Homo-oligomer: A and B are copies of this chain.
């Protein structure tokens, strides 16, 4: 990643002059100073080069409570909204934010917007939820989103109208890449109207692929549950002669879940991810490799990220028109596609296989967060509150080099984190699976 070009300054909606009501040490030892920053690139050589070249070493603002804040908590009204697909930890974020706002800063007007951005639009008639400690204290046990969610954009002006009507000072938006881009547009429109509303992003992506965010909440839980599915697939594969367990895991554009879950039990033989091309046919292709594996060991486990092999699917669709009438959806689903291709391949060869296909995606994303993610969410939610109360805006709360930091929306939105095909994660997968490059050249 080319870190030098990253913007790291956090926009503010006004100067922080109000003393924080938080009691953090006799002399305020628990506050984070605005000058505290975390350098982005820990590669020693790059740091040295920067200094030798008299270039600044890029760094992010450290997250945490500030001694002086912008808003008057007694008058502040906040809104929270969760957008896009479900993800373990949504309710933990909501709970942590509300508890910090309420008990930490004394904010008494906290509103939950129902069903994502739809909740702002009068036409949908979704009610607003009053968020108090009593309401949120037990929601984390349940999974899903306490506020509900929805997909897709909504009219920005109507959203701002709603924020104005409700007299909101901080809007917390918990969502993925699309949501963060919507957050930018909302912040633009807020500026145009000359309003003083902080737009605070909390990055949500179960795929763990948000740029400049080393870890996103829910990912750890997802790997946990995915591991159970892989274990099941492994048992199914071992349970029958020439048994194959095929699991599709989440990951539209990046294979972090597929790679990481495969490293857990280490009983996967092939991992297919969007970042690494593979061939189906040919001597080094997946089908021939799979055949060799079966002949040697009588069983095999394949993990495919949902975005793997998409080019191949698109190509086939165009070239083989007769497939069109069977419906696009089926063709684009790498799991069902591989299931068909593998079954056909071995049927043609007269080899009886037993293929079991598992797609655990909806089970994974809607379950409660594990303890690790719960702790992580508690920091994310509280740090979003600290940043917003201090008057920061157009930013997201991120985890970077093992620290919580502030990242401007402009540095992250529109780009994506990917598995490096020449990096440690992917090579570890290759070692753990014993899988060779599945390319014919």
Contacts and interface: CB of A to CB of B under 8 A. Distances in A.
Interface residues of A, number: 101
A357 B149 CA distance: 17
Interface string A130-164: 00000000101111110011100000000000000
Contact of A428 (B29, B223, B236, B379): B379
Nearest to A58: B44
Interface string A233-274: 111101111000000000000000000110111100000000
B232 A25 contact: no
A233 B364 CA distance: 11
B148 A228 contact: no
Nearest to A140: B265
Contacts of A285: none
Contact of A366 (B47, B235, B434): B235
Given A378-B266, A401-B401, A428-B379, A38 B44 contact: yes
A39 B30 contact: no
A426 B44 CA distance: 30
A214 B401 CA distance: 11
A359 interface: yes
Interface stretch (A95-103, A170-178, A191-199, A304-312): A95-103
A240 B370 CA distance: 23
Nearest to A147: B239
Number of copies: 4
B59 A375 contact: no
A238 B39 contact: no
Interface string A329-349: 000000000000000000000
A264 B375 contact: yes
Interface in A279-331: 325-326
Ranked nearest first, the 4 interchain pairs of A and B with the lowest CB-CB distance are A144-B235, A37-B44, A30-B427, A29-B422
Interface of A: 22, 24-25, 29-30, 32, 35-39, 42-45, 47-48, 51, 57, 59, 64-65, 86, 95-96, 99-100, 103-104, 115, 118, 124, 126, 138, 140-145, 148-150, 214, 220, 223-224, 226-229, 231-236, 238-241, 260-261, 263-266, 325-326, 354, 356-360, 362-363, 366-367, 370-372, 374-375, 378-379, 382, 401-404, 422-424, 426-428, 430-432, 434
8 contacts: A36-B43, A51-B51, A148-B238, A148-B239, A220-B371, A263-B374, A358-B363, A401-B401
Given A357-B362, A370-B370, 7 more contacts: A42-B401, A140-B265, A143-B235, A148-B239, A232-B367, A235-B367, A236-B366
